[in-house]
Amino acid sequence: MKLIRYGAPGREKPGLIDSEGVLRDLSGVTPHLDLPSLGLAGLRRLCEVEAGGLPRVRGTPRLGVPFTGISKFVAIGLNYRDHAAEAGMRVPTEPIVFMKATTCITGPSDAIELPPGSLKTDWEVELGVVIGQTAKRVGESQALDHVAGYCVVNDVSERAWQTERGGTWDKGKGFDSFGPIGPWLVTRDELPDPQALAMWLDVNGEPRQRGNTATMVFSVAQLVSYVSQCMTLLPGDVIATGTPPGVGMGIKPVPQFLKAGDVVTLGIDGLGAQRQRVVAG
């Protein structure tokens, strides 16, 4: 099932994408796609809804984040060997964990706002893992049982703030608009193997990132288990699992970064695509 929220910011309605790619209104079934309230049991009930009987949504409304209730936005660094190489850093022996501010979260086609004075804002297509059941110190073999589904994430990053201004990576990762999520939440039953997904990102139509989740250093199951040792993961929490090569800072001989007017498009097999225009903040 592909769950979605559509409408103006703050007034989004719940919906789903049917088997023919048509957006259907779920308002008559549930008022909100709030994962802490729905949980895995609620998602299973939604899967039983006959999509063809739901009202068809006309036009092309704005898409919001496909679910609510995100208490934590966790991210993983250098989780692709070739990305670590282009960054000039060692492949990690344990997952590198950092946090993105929940205030950075936006819809999949909302604008990316450049921080004032930014010259090094970068792109990163990532597989997002959405938690559906509380996970506290879970084993790797049980980790996927706690997953509600998957989505596309653009882990937008300001590299100067991330690496040149001291402290942790979080500062360069949490600016407003730096966390587009969506367009859909694809439930786990539709995507039984998260380790075989092609992913891509273009800037102004030019190919930048091409990769596959098969090349992750740490798998989705390993990451959910590992992060749950550090913190309790709650329904609605998101883990962005790292990015393949092709980011702006890795371009040789001269790195390339985003500027106002650029258009970023990205997607993952089975999870849909995003499109963001870059604007001055």
Please provide the DSSP assignment of the chain as one string: -EEEEESSTT--EEEEE-TTS-EEE-TTT-S--BHHHHHHHHHHHHHTS-GGGSPBPPS---B--S-B----EEEEES-BHHHHHHTT-PPPSS-EEEE--GGGEE-TTSPEEEPTT-S-EE--EEEEEEE-S-BSS--GGGGGGGEEEEEEEE--EEHHHHHSSSS-THHHH-STT-EEB-S-EEEGGG-S-TTS-EEEEEETTEEEEEEEGGGBSS-HHHHHHHHHHHS-B-TT-EEE----S--GGG-SSS-----TT-EEEEEETTTEEEEEEEEE-
Shared domain for 199 and 227, answered yes or no, is: yes
Q: Is residue 110 part of a domain?
A: yes
Instruction: Answer for the pair 124, 247: CB distance below 8 angstroms, yes or no.
Output: yes
The answer, yes or no, to whether residue 1 has pLDDT greater than 80, is yes
Position 91 scores a pLDDT of: 86
**Structural domain count of the chain:** 2
Closest CA to 52 of 96, 19, 7: 19
Shared domain for 113 and 156, answered yes or no, is: yes
**pLDDT grade, residue 261 (50/70/90)?**
very high
Shared domain for 183 and 127, answered yes or no, is: yes
Domain harbouring 175, CATH code: 3.90.850.10
Shared domain for 30 and 169, answered yes or no, is: no
Q: Is residue 6 part of a domain?
A: yes
Cα dihedral 214→33→15→238 (10° resolution): -20
Q: 44, exposed or middle or buried, with CB in 10 Å at 0-12, 13-18, 19+?
A: middle
Shared domain for 111 and 247, answered yes or no, is: yes
Shared domain for 137 and 192, answered yes or no, is: yes
The residue range of the domain holding 252 is 73-280
Shared domain for 112 and 223, answered yes or no, is: yes
pLDDT (tens digit, 9 = 90+) per residue, 36-90?
999 999 999 998 999 999 999 999 999 999 999 999 999 999 999 888 788 787 8
Q: Which two tokens stand for residue 169?
A: 């990576």
Shared domain for 42 and 97, answered yes or no, is: no
Q: Is residue 190 part of a domain?
A: yes
Residue with tokens 């997607």: 267
Shared domain for 17 and 114, answered yes or no, is: no
Position 85 scores a pLDDT of: 81
Average pLDDT estimate for 212-231: 97
Position 89 scores a pLDDT of: 77
Q: Is residue 36 part of a domain?
A: yes
Position 83 scores a pLDDT of: 81
Position 86 scores a pLDDT of: 80
Position 65 scores a pLDDT of: 98
Q: Name the average pLDDT for the chain.
A: 95
What is the rounded CA–CA span in Å between residue 117 and residue 237?
Answer: 31
Shared domain for 140 and 16, answered yes or no, is: no
Q: Is residue 267 part of a domain?
A: yes
Position 208 scores a pLDDT of: 97
Q: Is residue 32 part of a domain?
A: yes
Q: Is residue 58 part of a domain?
A: no
Shared domain for 168 and 266, answered yes or no, is: yes
Neighbouring-strand partners of residue 105: 179
Average pLDDT estimate for 211-240: 97
Q: Is residue 136 part of a domain?
A: yes
**pTM (2 decimals)?**
0.96
Shared domain for 22 and 81, answered yes or no, is: no
